[in-house]
């Protein structure tokens, strides 16, 4: 990899705390094209912005000391989920009295882990794994201030062995959240999400993936049904539940019982 180009790409504040692995994969997208340095930097930044920054307001990066609700409403993905968090979590954590929750591609979702949204009479430990370092810092500051049993970890979802190490360290039962993550993984590396799901399925008790069914901007229904994803999950896992809130479809599944 061209170290000089990498350093120039990550000079921008919004990319400065992305894992090296993610930036390298983005650069590979344009590595075979006959581009000059300026074109390479521009296209890679556009790609990274589309994948990692499109859901977030710049105010999330620059503001400090705001309430959890304020941040959640400035992040487009969590803003759409905001009115439904309580119902979503009741569905995700039903039949559990305690669990370790590992949130892959968390964004700032960890800020929703308050008693306002969580079901009563359940003991949860939250681990958020996120590529954007600024979001990791924001969540950890919130957890410390609110004295929540939680931690955010700065890690690429493409470092599979490290992801598995984090999951294995958590007490059982383990619930994996992947809210609106699959599409981004597939854009960066085709079929990687299948590999990831197979591996984490072996070391977790339940997985919940979600994907948008409506456009964030216009609210129009998507024509894409994610049939490939549903088929893959049906073939490799046992589907426990599926539901939809606010233009977001959730699939709940676990390893097939032997």
Task: Please state, in angstroms and rounded to a whole number, the distance separating the CA atoms of residues 82 and 198.
Answer: 30
CATH for 60-255 is 3.40.50.150
- How do residues 156-206 score in pLDDT, each as one tens digit? 999 999 999 999 999 999 999 999 999 999 999 999 999 999 999 999 999
Task: Please state, in angstroms and rounded to a whole number, the distance separating the CA atoms of residues 204 and 137.
Answer: 26
Task: Please state, in angstroms and rounded to a whole number, the distance separating the CA atoms of residues 145 and 127.
Answer: 16
Among 101, 93, 199, 208, which Cα is nearest to 151's? Answer: 101
Task: Identify the sign of the CA torsion 138, 118, 216, 196.
Answer: positive
Instruction: Give the whole-number percent of the chain exceeding pLDDT 90.
Output: 67
- How do residues 10-64 score in pLDDT, each as one tens digit? 998 888 899 999 999 999 988 777 888 899 999 999 999 888 865 565 666 666 7
Listed range (20-29, 60-69, 139-148, 212-221) with the worst mean pLDDT: 212-221
For residue 96 the two structure tokens come to 């559990």
Contact 132, 106 (CB under 8 A): no
Q: Where are the domains of the chain?
A: 3-53, 60-255
- How do residues 79-103 score in pLDDT, each as one tens digit? 889 999 999 999 999 999 999 999 9
Task: Please state, in angstroms and rounded to a whole number, the distance separating the CA atoms of residues 220 and 215.
Answer: 5
By the 10 Å C-beta count (0-12 exposed, 13-18 middle, 19+ buried), 95 is classed as exposed
Residue 136: its pLDDT value, please?
A: 94
Task: Please state, in angstroms and rounded to a whole number, the distance separating the CA atoms of residues 154 and 205.
Answer: 23
Question: What spatial distance separates the first Cα and last Cα of the chain, rounded to whole Å?
Answer: 45
Statement: the pTM of the whole predicted model exceeds 0.85:
yes
| Residue partners of 77: CB distance under 8 A and separation at least 6 | 55, 107, 179, 180, 216
Among 60, 66, 78, 80, which Cα is nearest to 142's? Answer: 66
Q: How many other β-carbons are positioned within 10 Å of the β-carbon of residue 255?
A: 16
For residue 201 the two structure tokens come to 């399925």
Residue 220: its pLDDT value, please?
A: 58
Contact 49, 132 (CB under 8 A): no
């Amino acid at each position: 990899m061209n170290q000089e180009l990498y350093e120039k790409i990550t000079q921008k504040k919004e990319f400065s705390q992305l894992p090296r692995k993610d930036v390298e994969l983005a650069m590979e997208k344009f590595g075979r094209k006959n581009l000059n340095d300026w074109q390479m930097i521009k296209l890679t930044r556009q790609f990274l912005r589309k994948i990692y920054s499109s859901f977030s307001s710049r105010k999330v990066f620059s503001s400090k000391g705001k309430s959890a609700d304020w941040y959640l409403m400035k992040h487009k993905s969590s803003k759409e989920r905001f009115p439904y968090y309580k119902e979503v979590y009741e569905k995700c954590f039903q039949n559990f009295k305690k669990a370790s929750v590992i949130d892959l591609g968390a964004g700032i979702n960890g800020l929703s882990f308050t008693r306002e949204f969580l079901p009563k009479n359940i003991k949860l430990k939250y681990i958020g794994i996120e590529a954007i370092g600024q979001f990791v810092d924001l969540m950890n500051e919130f957890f410390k201030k609110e004295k929540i049993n939680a931690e955010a970890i700065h890690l690429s979802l493409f470092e599979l062995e490290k992801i598995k190490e984090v999951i294995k360290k958590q007490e059982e039962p383990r619930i994996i959240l992947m809210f609106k993550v699959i599409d981004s993984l597939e854009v960066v590396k085709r079929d990687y999400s299948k590999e990831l799901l197979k591996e984490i399925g072996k070391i977790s008790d339940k997985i919940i993936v979600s994907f948008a069914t409506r456009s964030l901007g216009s609210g129009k229904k998507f024509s894409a049904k994610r049939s490939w994803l549903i088929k893959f999950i049906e073939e490799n896992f046992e589907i426990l539940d599926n539901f939809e809130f606010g233009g977001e479809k959730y699939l709940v599944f676990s390893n097939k019982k032997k």
